[in-house]
Structure 1
Amino acid sequence: MPIELADLPPIAPGIATEQLVGRMGIEIVSASLDEVVGRMPVAGNRQMFGLLHGGASGVLGETLGSILSALHALPERFPVGLELACTHHRGATEGWITGVARPIHVGHSTSTSEIVMSDEQGRRTCTARLTCLHRDTAPGAA
């Protein structure tokens, strides 16, 4: 049975300040079983030539796709990233990048999402595909 975004497990107190999402300025705008929308600033996430770092797009894509998988899999199963593929279409030098994750496949043991990222003018900057494995036990559990 799917869960709501507010029902996702809390981050362990000892690592709450270490979360990459916060360090990169990623904000979750909305979340449902059909799509998860989030955004990230270009500022602070650039590579040496001033463009949005491709790895930052990967982090945004994996974050949104993982949340989507979690909404479908939890509380019975625990999703972990298995494969991430990103195609970078154009650079971004300022503003915000918005990502929209939608399910391609949701099964018992895996789920795959497509994440489309666009700049503030609506131009596609990156398309990512994330496949998550749905584990029987929580990551880190003995």
Structure 2
Amino acid sequence: MPFDKDQALAMCRRFSGNTLMETLGIEYTDAGEGYLEATMPVTPRVHQPMGLLHGGASVALAESVGSAASIMYINPAEEERGIEISASHLQSKRDGFVTGRASLIHKGRSLHLWEIKITDEEGKLVSLCKLTNMVLPKKKDNNGRSI
């Protein structure tokens, strides 16, 4: 079945309500075979005390976009869990927007590996992250329904 960008973005947006993604203003903006993008505003809400983009907010963007990207590749009977993330923060940012682009490095049956590049409006690399997700069967309740 061909990749449906609109369906993928709608799914990502649907999962974001009442979550950290909504709190941080993360919005999914583009998707395609092997990648997903999301933006995040850089405002005092995501600053550290020195008025710069907090490294933890960058990691939250990276994990959000990388985890949502894995969901695009699993079936409804599966779920994913982030099991490892690493980040190198290369440039500071005070305002504007950053974009996280998750690119698929490896898609196995039980593990997905993503590289997430976080860039500013000019395309300068702010952070470089790597995320490993585990694919698991959904847990079932006593009636066989997914929980």
Structure 2 stretches lacking a partner, 5+ long? none
User: Alpha-carbon deviation of 1:138?
Assistant: 4.8
**Given residue 101 of structure 1, which amino acid in structure 2 is its aligned partner?**
A
Match of 2:39 in 1: 39
Greater mean deviation of Cα atoms: 106-115 or 72-81: 72-81
Q: Equivalent residue for 2:80?
A: 79
RMSD: 2.5
TM-score by length of 2: 0.84
- Superposition map of 1:8-47 within 5 A: 11=15, 16-17=17-18, 19-43=19-43, 44-47=45-48
Which deviations, in whole Å up to 9, do the C-alpha atoms of 1:3-37 show, x marking residues without a partner? 842356x55xxx953x0000000010012332101
Shift of 1:77: 2.0
CA distance in 2, matches of 1:111, 1:124: 23
Paired position in structure 1 for 2:64: 63
**Corresponding pairs, count:** 138
Distance 2:98 2:110 in 1: 31
Structure with bigger gyration radius: 2
**Which one has more relative contact order, counting CA pairs under 8 Å at least 6 apart?**
1
Report the Cα distance in structure 2 between the residues aligned to 1:105 and 1:138, rounded to whole angstroms.
25
Give the AA of the match of 1:37.
E
Partner of residue 103, structure 2: 102
- TM-score with structure 1 length normalisation? 0.86
Stretches of structure 1 lacking an aligned partner (at least 5 in a row): none
Q: SS at 1:90's partner residue?
A: coil
Look up the SS of the partner of 1:60 in the other structure: helix
